[in-house]
A = this chain, B = another copy of it.
Amino acid sequence: MRDLDREETYLADRRGLALELRDLVGSGPVPKEAYPGPHAALGYGEGWLAARLSGLPDWTEEGTLFVLEGGYDLGEAAALALVAETERVRVVRVGFREGAAYLPPSPLAPYRYLRFLLLATGQEEALSEVDKALLEERKRLTPEVPLEANPAKFLAYTLLERLPLFYAPFFRPLEEAAQSLFARIGKSLSLTPPHSALEFFLTGLEARHEQGDPLAAVLLGEGEAVRLAKEILETRVDAVAEVPPPEGSRLAQAVALWYRLAWTAYYLALLYGVDPSDPEVLERLREAT
C-alpha cells in the first residue's frame, strides 16, 4: 500500500493540485462592483454548489441574477441569461464561457463561485467566516502533516478499496458535491442516498453483505438524523466514518467539510496512484457541449 507520509507518493500529482488546494482561500475572480438587490443565483456544474450554499432564490423579477456557468449545461444557462435580462433585471454571468467573468474550470471552482457571489452581494463578513474556517482546517490537512494528525489522510485510508456512501442531513447538497469531488479528483465512484435516506439505508443495504464492493458510510455533520443513520448503518456497511463539522456558521461548516473532502479525494487519488487533476478528459466534453 502506498504511504501518504512519503514524498514519492506525491509524484502522481503531476500538475500540482496540492498547491491549488493549499492556496484556495482568497483565489478566484473578484466582482468589479456591488450589484443592486434583490439577488438571485442560478448555478450549473461547478457553480451549482455555490448557488445552493448562497440560499438565494433562482429567479428574480428585479435586481441582479447571477448565472454561474460552470458546467455542461447544453446551452441552458446562456438561454436563461438571455431571457432573464430585462430593464429591471441585470444578469451577471460568471464561468468559463465566452462573455462571462472568467472563472477557469477546476474541481475546486465551487469555492471561487461562492466567493464571487458573497462579494458581489455585500456579504464580506460571511466570506471571512468561511475563509477563517478553511484556513483553520488547512493546518491539519496538508501533505506535510503526518497521518496521525491529518484527518483527510486518515479518511482516505478508510475509504481505500471501498465504495463511499455520503450522508449530510444538515445540508443535503453536500452529498452530491462530495460525489463530484471523489469522481473528479479521486477518480472514484461513490454513492448518495435519495431524499428518504433512512428508509433507503434500511431497505437498500439489506442484502449487501454477500455481494460487491464493501461500503463505507461517511456521515457529515451531526444531530439526530446522523445518530439514527449511524445506528442503522453500523450493521449494514463495512465502515462508518463520522465527520463532525468545525465551529462556525452553517455556511462555514458546510464549506469546511467540502474542503476536507477535497483533500480526502486528493489523498485517495494518490493511494490509487492516479493523477488527481482532470483537465484532458473534460476538455473533450467541453467541446462537445
Contact = CB atoms under 8 A, between A and B. Distances in A.
Nearest to A223: B74
A200 B213 contact: no
A225 to B, nearest CB: 6
A205 B189 CA distance: 6
Scoring A46, A161, A182, A194 by chain B CB atoms within 10 A of each residue's CB, the highest score goes to A194
Interface residues of A, number: 50
A228 interface: yes
A285 interface: yes
A199 B71 contact: yes
Interface stretch (A30-38, A79-87, A139-147, A172-180): A172-180
Contacts of A212: 163, 189, 212-213
Interface in A181-217: 182-184, 187-196, 198-200, 202-208, 211-213
11 contacts: A179-B200, A180-B194, A183-B203, A184-B200, A184-B203, A184-B204, A189-B208, A199-B285, A202-B281, A228-B288, A232-B285
Contacts of A163: 212
Scoring A45, A204, A288 by chain B CB atoms within 10 A of each residue's CB, the highest score goes to A204
Smallest CB-CB A-B distances: 4 pairs = A183-B204, A176-B194, A212-B213, A179-B194
Contact of A196 (B48, B193, B198, B208): B48
A281 B202 CA distance: 7
Contacts of A48: 195-196
Nearest to A206: B187
A272 interface: yes
B74 A199 contact: no
Contacts of A190: 204
A46 B282 contact: no
Nearest to A51: B195
Contacts of A74: 224-225
A282 B201 CA distance: 11
Contacts of A211: 161, 213
A276 to B, nearest CB: 11
A196 B272 contact: no
A44 to B, nearest CB: 8
B228 A45 contact: no
A241 interface: no
Given A180-B200, A187-B203, A228-B289, 9 more contacts: A74-B224, A161-B211, A180-B195, A184-B199, A187-B207, A189-B205, A191-B191, A192-B192, A203-B282
Contact of A187 (B46, B182, B204): B204
A166 to B, nearest CB: 10
A102 interface: no
